Amino acid sequence: MVMTRGTRLGTYEILAPLGAGGMGEVYRAKDTRLGRDIALKVLPEAFARDAGRLARFEHEARTVAGLNHPNIVVLHSVEEDNGVRFLTMELVEGERLDRLLSHGGLPVSRVVDLGIALSDALVAAHERGVVHRDLKPANVMVTREGRVKVLDFGLAKLESSEPGLDATQAATRVTPLSTPGQVVGTVPYMAPEQVRGDAVDARTDLFALGIMLYELVAGHRPFYGATPADVSSAILRDTPQPLANVRADLPADLDRIVGRCLQKEPRARFQTALELCHELRRLKQTGESVTPSPPAGRDDIRSLAVLPLDNVSRDRAQEYFADGMTEALISELARLKALRVISRTSAMKYKGVQKALPEIARELSVDAILEGSALLVGKRVRVTVQLVSARTDEMLWADRYDGEIEDVLDLQSRIAATVAKEIAVQVTPHEVTHLAKRRPVNPEAHVEYLKGRHTAAAASPQAIELSLRHFQRALELDPKHAPAWAGIAYCHIARAGRGMAPAAEANAQARAAAMQALELDDSVAQAYAALGTVAVWEMDLKGAIRYLERAIDMDPGSTGAYVALGRLYYCSERHREAQEAMLRALSLDPLSMLIHTSVGDAYYYAREYERSLVYYRKAVELDPRFDGAHTDLARSLEALGRFEEARGEYEEGRRVSGGIAGPSFGLAHLEARSGNEAAARRILQELIDARTHRVVSSWGIAALHASLHDVDEAFRWLDVAVEEHATGLIFLRVHPRLDPIRQDLRYQSLLRRLGLDAA
């Protein structure tokens, strides 16, 4: 049905046609009641006669109505007049983005700003379960004031609600617009899965946004051909020309970000629009044109993963040595500030995995892979390494190193220095000095240290205790082994945080061990990170920042320091900074269960519960044996009122916890929240009674009393927590479970007493 100027639909007068959307004709119209111009979208008559299509139209309207975001067009109403169904929307005046494209590309700062706005709009949509499916420059308006507005969610469909899929990754329902099996979208901006007709999800939109960013930078699309079929083939087959070859003024990180969006496999892209948005914001904050990308070739390596070295002895008892050498090389290379090095946890996921190196590089979003083998025979060490380009699968360099185990640190430094030279990465004078320093070790002590690091990676209470014994044995053999002292500090911090030991006692032991490490070697980043973590728990927030920033300065790959700094930020209500710190840690360690949990925490304490679920679920997927991931996931489900799902996760957390109290606390909070006060009080009493024979947090008991609205008892137990230096006190300012007592005058008094009121 074509509308002419002057046609009336209800209280609206048609003024002019604007174009065709995914579900009908769009017109400029005047709302005669309010005296404003709006966009009016009419459902075609053929659709109106089809009950299924009509239902989809109304479904679309409800979906769009739920998207309240400054970068998404606003839906005003859904109406009908004389059998004509239509909706009214915000009228956006300005220029379509495709008309703003220039042959040589837009300024970098403008591209980054547009990318931030578009990705932020997708965050809002994806969190409501909406995938656009037809994101392209023609569907984006830039207003006269410069604001970005995403149009035409008419092709979006709500994602399926299959259990186990998070809100940003679930596949969409496959409901064709007209004929069964019809592919929806615009070919040049389609993701490979769209071209193939496979199920799509939020990551499909990220591919489309990657194409748009590429086009905005280069002035042309990354995939092209004479016909739509040719373009489709290019999307499925071709690797785009690196942006660094197109423009010399680009920051290396923008090239990397766009490249990750354009990965063929969805799992190799950013997994959420939120991750992409944070990366672009970080790029903006650090200055868009400070670090130009190098020309393509060997010199463009700015990120690297060290794969687990092969244990060529085939003796499983020597796995600790190959793994220890892997970790040592990661640590050495991570000190180079100009190089992003994937952390140990993610790298070790590929131990024993048979995958092509380019595929691994895509999954980790790195430019190169370092792989090789390690062998320890008596006191003789042999390490072979080779550097492989991620893009070409070409071996760039290989070498073999032989030496005595007492010179193993020198050997590690020589390998790192050679890698830096081979890839022409910038090395600062301080880094040169560190790499040149010769540091002999006691062979037997170093073996125990490697065993301690190898064991601690499991993160369970049993692993932490065994790791502690290895570090202690290393110090019996060599009291001056600084890294072993730092390892002991790490173990005591883990014991305090997991409720394995009284917090005050464990943190004091951690501080003493870290200080001893720094007396022996003031370059041990892990010791600074340990002191920063202890300072956080002890409310010395300024000291914590100082120590953690020092740790990051000494080791830019120190994910633990970023996590501790992020915790400090969200406990001070600096939520955006907290999320950025956690996501930085995740970019260095993308397969770490603990870091996914930490990112989830940053969103939980910002009360962005839906966003936290994405990271908690991924943590559970990465290691379902970790009780903390289950209980944290349950906590957010509980906050969202999804009590049965929460109960299942709390129960699973309790099953795998090894007897620590956290999951039981969670179940008690759930009972209180769901109205089963008697059950909550029964668990509370069991936990109080258990304090006579095991560690049960006084902070946890106080928080549970708060959930039960026992205000006086909550404050009495908070006083006990202060006396015991309970680690949970750092959350006093932000923990949602303290909401029932937050208006009490004693609450503000306690914040001031602990120095948290002005943090």
Of 670, 736, 647, 608, the residue nearest 168 (C-alpha): 608
How far is it, in rounded angstroms, from Cα 185 to Cα 332?
Answer: 47
> Residues of 460-486 as b/e, b for ≥16 C-beta within 10 angstroms?
bbebbebbbebbebbbebbeebbbbbb
> Do the beta carbons of residue 550 and residue 530 sit within 8 Å?
no
> Do the beta carbons of residue 204 and residue 193 sit within 8 Å?
yes
The CA distances from residue 109 to 15, 117, 250, 285, in Å, are 37, 13, 10, 11
> Do the beta carbons of residue 388 and residue 357 sit within 8 Å?
yes
Under DSSP, is residue 14 helix (H, G, I), strand (E, B) or coil? strand
How far is it, in rounded angstroms, from Cα 595 to Cα 592?
Answer: 5
How far is it, in rounded angstroms, from Cα 685 to Cα 702?
Answer: 12
Q: E strands of 90-208, at which residues?
A: 94-96, 130-131, 140-143, 148-150, 157-158
Of 560, 581, 584, the residue nearest 570 (C-alpha): 581
How far is it, in rounded angstroms, from Cα 138 to Cα 567?
Answer: 41
Which residue among the candidates 134, 152, 253, 632 is catalytic per the annotation?
134
How far is it, in rounded angstroms, from Cα 10 to Cα 22?
Answer: 23
Of 146, 128, 112, 147, the residue nearest 60 (C-alpha): 128
Count of CB atoms within 10 A of residue 35's CB? Answer: 7
Amino acid at the residue 181 = G
Q: In what helix (H) or strand (E) does residue 81 lie, and over which residues does it extend?
A: strand 75-81
> Do the beta carbons of residue 538 and residue 569 sit within 8 Å?
no
How far is it, in rounded angstroms, from Cα 191 to Cα 196?
Answer: 9
The CA distances from residue 398 to 344, 401, 527, in Å, are 22, 10, 33
In the chain, DSSP finds a helix count (H) and a strand count (E) of 31, 17
Of 571, 575, 580, 530, the residue nearest 554 (C-alpha): 530
How far is it, in rounded angstroms, from Cα 367 to Cα 422?
Answer: 14
Amino acid at the residue 752 = R
> DSSP secondary structure string, 331-355?
HHHHT-TTSEE--HHHHHTTTT---
Under DSSP, is residue 31 helix (H, G, I), strand (E, B) or coil? strand
Q: What distance, in Å, lies between the first and last C-alpha atoms of the chain?
A: 62
Return the structure tokens found at 477. 């053999």
Q: What is the CA radius of gyration of the chain?
A: 28
Residue 309 DSSP symbol: P
The CA distances from residue 25 to 18, 22, 42, 335, in Å, are 8, 9, 5, 58
134 catalytically annotated:
yes
**Chain centroid to CA 617:** 12
How far is it, in rounded angstroms, from Cα 528 to Cα 534?
Answer: 10
Q: In what helix (H) or strand (E) does residue 650 lie, and over which residues does it extend?
A: helix 643-656
Please list the active-site residues. 134
